Chains A and B, each alone.
Chain A
């Protein structure tokens, strides 16, 4: 059941990202505007080089856009060529990130990887320990809590990465091809997980994917081509 409310998790308007200059100038994202509501899961599809990952990097405050405006959870974070917030703090409090590779810290156990996200945000160890176990249980990997990432399967690693992304109750989860390294069965399971997270945790989720077989799990699909959003399907 969706817990979606009307507050948008993300609003972006007129985003443009240009790499290089002069003869080497490449417009990776051109005048993109979009909105993702809390509790909504949105797929971002398109051919390679369409600018999906760059758009995700802009939305995740990993790279600054050249122009445009980004509002996260009703806070203006980028406007008029200027970053308006402490990006590092904003990322740890409002964002969850999941990538093609789980990118877990190799010397920390699954539980510690989840706890780390909370302890970075100065949450007490007692609370972070309990929430990490709750999240791992929620995502079905509680029995692997004390295992290092090297002892987990690809699917389990991604579940732990999702748990880490959820740790600080983010407004927005951005995921860049999170199922690319998984087989179709595990890939679909992870996508189902994102849907569950969006609806049950009331977070906006935007997922870049090439996997068209799982598009039925998304509330909305945005198609991107040549740096621009072309179509939107419900």
Chain B
């Protein structure tokens, strides 16, 4: 006869409520681990999906995710001349925050190197990729945007043509993809007044130097669009992504480009490491600390619950001792209940998590290894938590029955 299950059956409502409480607590512990995994996955998702072999960024920066990186877009052509390089394309990444349909909308915009890259590699949830050079957008479904939505960005209105799934930036923002030119237009968008002031300033600067005095006809060009002034150079991108031809050593190609004085080069793994060692690492440590604290809190709460449950049964335990029950029977009663409490709490945490985690603002990724680890931790804290109750039960004096 199993006393633990008989007792649970008798006090079923209380046991269910207690298990639910433990389950909620463990769900938070599980969620903390899941959020960390989500941060890691979000951090490396883009690098993984883009699949570039090398990331060429501004010299001595860890860009484009760890810090600002700006390199001339025409570097694409320069890198393409390096032996072993199969293809290059520019990469732009920046975050915008706009009010849309009465709500705040944050998007991390990624520029695709149109027409080579139409976003066909993106994991689609709905709609399609880009089919024209301008004013189209593919957004992650976590942004709550819908296919067909019209989103004003910069001076243009972009139409959402497709939705992706799981494309979240390391900061937790939904990603949106448009052509590189559009992404730059949005990034460097200035108000008409700012443009007018900038053009006037250029004209004034021109007249303050000798060139302006001897060639006054240049003022017309200086007061026009920036793109019409060769001296201002090409547009800037955050990075140039490089694909290496099969058979070529990626490290050797990287070393070649890295020797240039104006750029730094990272391999795909190097870029992922930079991402993980940056903001993701701080989040990991913080979440790890919270997780450990919550496990300790769970253990204490479980110990107190089991201690209280034992106190409720102290008279019965004294009676069991009086009629000659072995200590193992009493120990088993408490420990089995502790393990059941922990086990059922864990299952409740998992099931509840499956239902609730998708609604969390940040992605929660439950990894099988983490779940196994947590299950073992729950088992251990269940046993540890039962020790307080067992200690009290072992001290129960059979003569208490006489009173």
Number of A-B residue pairs having CB atoms within 8 Å of each other in the complex: 66
Which residue on chain A has the smallest CB distance to residue B401? A103
Q: Which chain A positions have C-beta within 8 A of B316? A: 105-106
Contact B399 A57 (CB under 8 A): yes
Which residue on chain B has the smallest CB distance to residue A164? B323
Contact B398 A92 (CB under 8 A): no
Of B3, B7, B9, B325, the contact of A88 (CB 8 Å cutoff): B325
Contact A112 B322 (CB under 8 A): no
Task: Please report which residues of chain A, range 91-113, place their CB below 8 angstroms from some CB of chain B when the two chains form the complex.
Answer: 91-93, 95, 97, 99, 103, 105-108, 112
Which residue on chain B has the smallest CB distance to residue A109? B6
Contact A120 B323 (CB under 8 A): yes
Q: How far is the CA of A26 from the CA of B6 in the complex (A)?
A: 43
Of A63, A99, A120, the contact of B325 (CB 8 Å cutoff): A120
Known contacts A63-B399, A119-B1; A107 and B9 CB within 8 A of each other: yes
Of A91, A106, A119, the contact of B322 (CB 8 Å cutoff): A91
Known contacts A107-B9, A125-B1; A99 and B324 CB within 8 A of each other: no
Task: Please report which residues of chain A, range 77-95, place their CB below 8 angstroms from some CB of chain B when the two chains form the complex.
Answer: 88-93, 95
Is A181 interfacial (CB-CB < 8 Å)?
no
Q: Which chain B positions have C-beta within 8 A of A202? A: none
Q: Which chain A positions have C-beta within 8 A of B10? A: 106-107, 148
Q: How far is the CA of A46 from the CA of B315 in the complex (A)?
A: 27
B18 → chain A, closest Cβ, in Å?
A: 16
Which residue on chain B has the smallest CB distance to residue A176? B402
Task: Please report which residues of chain A, range 137-171, place their CB below 8 angstroms from some CB of chain B when the two chains form the complex.
Answer: 148, 164
Q: Which chain A positions have C-beta within 8 A of B323? A: 91-92, 97, 116-117, 120, 164
Q: How far is the CA of A88 from the CA of B399 in the complex (A)?
A: 13
Contact B1 A62 (CB under 8 A): no
Known contacts A57-B399, A105-B319; A120 and B326 CB within 8 A of each other: yes
Q: How far is the CA of A95 from the CA of B10 in the complex (A)?
A: 29
Q: Which chain B positions have C-beta within 8 A of A112? A: 1, 6
Is B153 interfacial (CB-CB < 8 Å)?
no
Which residue on chain A has the smallest CB distance to residue B322? A97
- Of A62, A95, A115, chain B has the most CB atoms within 10 Å of the CB of A62
Is A121 interfacial (CB-CB < 8 Å)?
yes
Contact pattern, B 300-332, Cβ under 8 Å of A = 1, otherwise 0: 000000000000000110011111111001000
Is B208 interfacial (CB-CB < 8 Å)?
no
Which residue on chain A has the smallest CB distance to residue B398? A62
Known contacts A105-B316, A106-B316; A116 and B324 CB within 8 A of each other: no
Q: Which chain A positions have C-beta within 8 A of B399? A: 57, 62-63
Task: Please report which residues of chain B, range 5-30, place their CB below 8 angstroms from some CB of chain A when the two chains form the complex.
Answer: 6-7, 9-11
Contact B321 A88 (CB under 8 A): yes
Which residue on chain B has the smallest CB distance to residue A112? B1
Q: Which chain A positions have C-beta within 8 A of B3? A: 105, 107-108, 116
Known contacts A103-B319, A105-B319, A107-B11; A57 and B325 CB within 8 A of each other: no
Is A221 interfacial (CB-CB < 8 Å)?
no
Which residue on chain A has the smallest CB distance to residue B5? A107
B165 → chain A, closest Cβ, in Å?
A: 50
Interface residues on B, range: 20 to 34
Contact B7 A115 (CB under 8 A): no
Of B9, B315, B324, the contact of A91 (CB 8 Å cutoff): B324
Of B324, B401, B402, the contact of A120 (CB 8 Å cutoff): B324
B193 → chain A, closest Cβ, in Å?
A: 80
Which residue on chain A has the smallest CB distance to residue B11? A107
Contact A121 B324 (CB under 8 A): yes
- Of B320, B323, B326, B399, chain A has the most CB atoms within 10 Å of the CB of B323
Q: How far is the CA of A97 from the CA of B324 in the complex (A)?
A: 11
A136 → chain B, closest Cβ, in Å?
A: 16
Is A228 interfacial (CB-CB < 8 Å)?
no
Q: How far is the CA of A97 from the CA of B295 in the complex (A)?
A: 44
A180 → chain B, closest Cβ, in Å?
A: 13
Is A16 interfacial (CB-CB < 8 Å)?
no
Q: How far is the CA of A125 from the CA of B7 in the complex (A)?
A: 19
Q: How far is the CA of A108 from the CA of B329 in the complex (A)?
A: 15
A125 → chain B, closest Cβ, in Å?
A: 7
B90 → chain A, closest Cβ, in Å?
A: 72
Q: Which chain B positions have C-beta within 8 A of A209? A: none
Which residue on chain B has the smallest CB distance to residue A129? B1
Contact B315 A88 (CB under 8 A): no
Q: Which chain B positions have C-beta within 8 A of A89? A: 324
Contact B321 A115 (CB under 8 A): no
Is A53 interfacial (CB-CB < 8 Å)?
yes
A147 → chain B, closest Cβ, in Å?
A: 13
Q: How far is the CA of A57 from the CA of B401 in the complex (A)?
A: 11
Q: How far is the CA of A107 from the CA of B10 in the complex (A)?
A: 5
Known contacts A62-B322, A88-B324, A108-B6; A120 and B329 CB within 8 A of each other: yes
Further 19 A-B residue pairs, CB within 8 A, beyond A88-B325, A91-B324, A103-B401: A62-B399, A63-B399, A88-B321, A91-B322, A92-B323, A92-B325, A97-B401, A99-B401, A103-B315, A105-B3, A106-B10, A107-B6, A108-B6, A115-B1, A116-B3, A116-B320, A120-B323, A120-B324, A120-B325
23 of the cross-chain contacts (CB-CB < 8 Å) are: A57-B399, A57-B402, A88-B326, A91-B323, A91-B324, A95-B324, A99-B402, A103-B319, A105-B320, A106-B10, A107-B9, A107-B10, A107-B11, A108-B3, A108-B6, A116-B1, A116-B3, A117-B324, A120-B320, A120-B324, A120-B325, A120-B326, A121-B324
Q: Which 5 A-B pairs have the closest CB atoms?
A: A92-B324, A107-B10, A91-B324, A107-B7, A103-B319
